[in-house]
Structure 1
Amino acid sequence: MLANKVLFLDGEAIVIDKPAGLPVDPPRDGSISLENHLGGLTFGFKRWPQAVHRLDRDTSGCLLLSRNPKAHAKLQQAFEQGLVQKRYLAVLEGVPEGEEGVIDLPLIKVSSAEAGWRMTGDATGKASRTAWRVLAVKDGRAFVEFRPETGRTHQIRVHALEGLGAPVAGDPIYGNGECETLLHAAELIVPRAGKEPITAEAPLPERFMKAGFGA
């Protein structure tokens, strides 16, 4: 299934266009996850590839996999050092004030027995910055490009809600969850010492077109 969704491939890495609805980590209920597809992504190697970072279950787009332990450590380091460039596209349930800017909102994890856990803005949280730019507005919704400078859990989803005042359309935690989640990891650039960078672009999914927003 995922072998035809490869965006980049060499001896160190694979980038796939992860479908929305596919979790990276195996769910507790034992349902299908990325792990179930790794055997079909070996491309001549005996070793299965391994995810270097995470995308939320309902987020589609560029997901980086390493093909050996040495590459995995090197690629993970690029993420930890903030060297990776990421571009996301989202449709928001609302229209932000202004056309572009940077959201600087530290994030912290909170939880309750009733609602479970979620991330929220808090001055005592971990530093989180996201650049944003409105690409189009239609029927009270905004099509927005996000470029996260940090890689916190749920960063774009919380920054959209708390930083711009408009949740990602269809977000099951921070929005109304009434449609498919319209968040897509559109581009990934990972620098590598002594080698060409890993570059990948994932085409805009059909669910964005159905919502009235095209490339």
Structure 2
Amino acid sequence: MTPTLSKIVFVALVIGWFLIRYKYARRSRRERIVWSARGPLETSLLLTSLAGLGLVPLVYVATAIPRFAAYGFHPSFAWFGLFFAIGALAMFHLTHRALGRNWSISLDVRENHELVTHGIYQTVRHPMYSAFWLWAIAQALLLPNWFAGFAGLTGFGILYFGRVAREERMMLEIFGENYRAYMARTGRIFPSIFLKQSRQGRS
């Protein structure tokens, strides 16, 4: 693994994400939105995440800016980054396939919206967030730059912690006890098996 190959892996991650999302984004647009949380806060969170996961690292890949934040390249880190990038793309694919027409970039409720509990959603209730966390970790490992490499963890972290609780409140309002029961048997971003093992360890 070389610095150039490491950058190519990151660009491939971005392209792969776009290709996966494009198909489902077109399909979901056909479904009418009946309620949305879009507003200044949601827009700010989305732009912050976009900057951290896309704009900042792609500028670095193209220009090496900011140069002052560069540090020594470690091939072993980059190999781990490749592993996390593959995991992120696999998770994106599984999540979009399970969501189908229910997918939305924002906190939207579409006509005939369904509570998806099959596929990857059987064990994780927010696998899309899981995929972006994997992306952010891959970015930090692939790009040897304190600013560009860790911008994803910062940018997406702000979106995640600013949104996930609101999203779960929204789902509880829509699906009520069905979603509450679903929350009880699933992990938020990790499979429920990890939660069960953790609970057993504490008991």
Same topology, TM > 0.5: no
Q: Give me the TM-score of the superposition, normalised by structure 1.
A: 0.25
The structure where strand makes up a greater share of residues is 1
The answer to which structure has the higher helix fraction is 2
How high is the TM-score relative to the length of structure 2?
A: 0.26
Higher RCO, 1 vs 2 (CA within 8 Å, ≥6 residues apart) = 2
